[in-house]
Amino acid sequence: MAPEPSYAAYLSFSETGNIGQTFVSHLHGALKQEGIYTFKDDRNQDRGISFSKDSSRAIEESQIIVVVFCENFVLSKDCLDEVVKIMDCRKLLKKIVIPIFYDVEPSEVRRQRNNLAEAFADDSENDDEIGRSERVKRWRDALNEAGNISGFDLRKTHDGNEAECIEHIVKEIVSKLRSEEVAGERQKYVEFGSKFLSERVIGFTRSAASPFPLCVPVFFFVTIYII
């Protein structure tokens, strides 16, 4: 069962290349202006601070997860582990994932070309542990899945104008959150209705609202013979 949402959105990104201080920071600010409570992990992955339990829990407790892929994303193994977690939550907890391809093509993420391919090759060559190859496989599978999700290719959106792209992304997130809220309210009514009906039908002894037995009308049919 999915935990109750604590955050409206979660931002996944790599600090490599200072993208967190530029594009991601501007996106985070725009989300805050819309009143969207967003988890942004400001740890510096370049300094070896590992993917934290707080981040893992925040992913599980967020309604929407935004992953910002950049050219150097794969250089952070913590980011790759995070993507694996995100894809697991998408599958198991039905989380909405929105990928943003900042300076890479979706096909590069899917196929791990260029810098991605080189980084995977280096990691595979230095395979000192039995579990290393399995970890690399999880990375590949997660990136392939993420690269196939419909998202935003910034270089092909609004002619690469970041301000306009951010505005577009925020509108999309707001729209999805509203859809989730409507669906959530609808589900509550469905669950309430199902519970009420099951209590009425299963042993029509008591209803959810009343401690008294339900009144069940009984009809007697009498046949009168005339002689």
Question: Bigger pLDDT: 71 or 166?
Answer: 166
Instruction: Spell out the residues 6+ positions from residue 28 whose beta carbon is closer than 8 angstroms to its own.
Output: 11, 38, 40
Task: Give me the pLDDT at residue 196, please.
Answer: 44
Task: Give me the pLDDT at residue 128, please.
Answer: 56
Q: What is the pLDDT of residues 17-66, one digit of tens each?
A: 677 678 999 999 999 999 999 999 776 444 444 567 889 999 999 999 99
DSSP-derived secondary structure for 35-98: T--EEE----GGGT----HHHHHHHHTEEEEEEEE-TTGGG-HHHHHHHHHHHHHHHHS--EEE
Q: What is the pLDDT of residues 129-185, one digit of tens each?
A: 556 778 888 999 999 999 999 999 998 999 889 999 999 999 999 999 998 876 665
**Active site (catalytic) residues:** 82
- CA dist 100 and 158 (Å) reads 14
Domain at 7-181: CATH code: 3.40.50.10140
Task: Give me the pLDDT at residue 52, please.
Answer: 74
Q: What is the pLDDT of residues 89-118, one digit of tens each?
A: 999 999 999 999 999 999 999 987 555 556
Span between the terminal Cα atoms of the chain, in Å: 70
Instruction: Spell out the residues 6+ positions from residue 215 whose beta carbon is closer than 8 angstroms to its own.
Output: none
pLDDT above 70 for 5: no
Q: What is the pLDDT of residues 184-226, one digit of tens each?
A: 655 554 454 455 444 444 444 344 444 444 444 444 454 554 5
